[in-house]
Structure 1
Amino acid sequence: MADNPALDQFGEEIGAGPLYKQYNMIFAFIAQFNYVGAQVTIAAFFINYATENGGFTSTQGSNMLSYALICFTVGRFVGTALATVFQADFIMIIYTAICIALNAYVCTGRGTPAVAVLITIFFFEAPMYSTLFTMGTANLGKHTRRGAGILVMGVSGGAVFTPIQGAVADHAGTRISYMVPLIGFTHVMGYVVFHWIRHGRHIMRVKEVTAVTAAGLGSDGDEEKKEEVVMSERV
């Protein structure tokens, strides 16, 4: 990789510089951390919310959580299909904005409508993990493996957010505790908006482009050969 670096459209090496200067990856990790924290807490306190704020029994709450997980599964497939037409970061802006609005209602609403809105969040949050991972590992070059490992560690957000929301729920109630995932979604929104603006503000999916890899001069003095490799300019 070091001998044949992939070059971008400006002739610069993809992923040049040390790992700690790959700012897109770092910000994606923070967004992933916040997203996973929000996802885990939304599911972990679902039954408590349905019983305390929705007036349902624990059994009914469990059944509704099953419906929410079905929505999550369907949402993952729908998000994948949309990503073949629209730019991934643009989809994330729309989905995250919807999650923020729905989560805000969950923090203020009551009864069956509030529980229904909470179920709907599962649908829109479904494609976020995989999309953030792809956005964060794009164009890392020689740092791709280590960057991917760092992005995976974003799942630790679930271990951090859950006790925080539990503490808030004990002091202010489960409904108010859903401010914790709302903060997580807000951080995700900041990253995806920044990514979308920085990468050209495209709405429709950008086709793959060809980057150039320099193969170096041969010992016989031949001209430098160039090998074309296909990689995504933007995700």
Structure 2
Amino acid sequence: MTPIMTKADNLSLDELRVLLAPAVARAAVFDGWGEEAVRAAAMEKDVSEDVALYAFNEGAMAMISAWIASIDLAMVEALPAAELAKLPIRERISRLVRFRLSALDGAEESLRRAQAIMARPRNLAASARLGWQSADAMWRLAGDRAVDFNHYTKRATLAGIYAATLAVFANDESEGKAETLAFLDRRIEGVMRFEKIKGQLLRRDAMHFSPVRLLGRLRYPASL
């Protein structure tokens, strides 16, 4: 008898993890980030249980990483850069973060459990990388092409804002997550104000200092 092929049979291991991850997260509400959640996800997605367990044999952080990767991919599909480019930068960032929050709606318990796992000392470095990757994905969709120091400061700042917003979101019981959204808006407003001030200072410095003018003076000193 010819075995029945499923969608999962043609996926790479990383793609399989991303396929399973949202179902693992849904099961983690009840079962935590462990093998029982993986088994439930395998059943939901019609994937061999043994294959699913192998895909996540590195444990809870592998499951959480795949969950975050699945949200990254969904964000790219739902909010293409070409559409975001029509909006002010503040609105682009707000929409990207809000989309990610909507993807987590109903999974607050899974998020709280994931945050506890990510906060363990041995997982801090990996957690920081995941936060950086998500911030980088958001800035790239927002159209940022900075390659100087701003590249790093923007991502570090957004990663901090996103992490803080998730902490509020996980325990927010207000109608429509109003407290979380207000918190997010305040943080984005603060960053935009900082970027404006920073830009003004940099322009002011540029008015007072010109490397070309300095080199010219060194080569052709003014007469005394």
Relative contact order, CA 8 A, sep 6+: which one is greater?
1
Give 1 or 2: higher strand fraction: 1
Task: Give 1 or 2 for the bigger CA radius of gyration.
Answer: 2
**Same fold per superposition (TM over 0.5):** no
TM-score by length of 2: 0.33
Give 1 or 2: higher helix fraction: 2
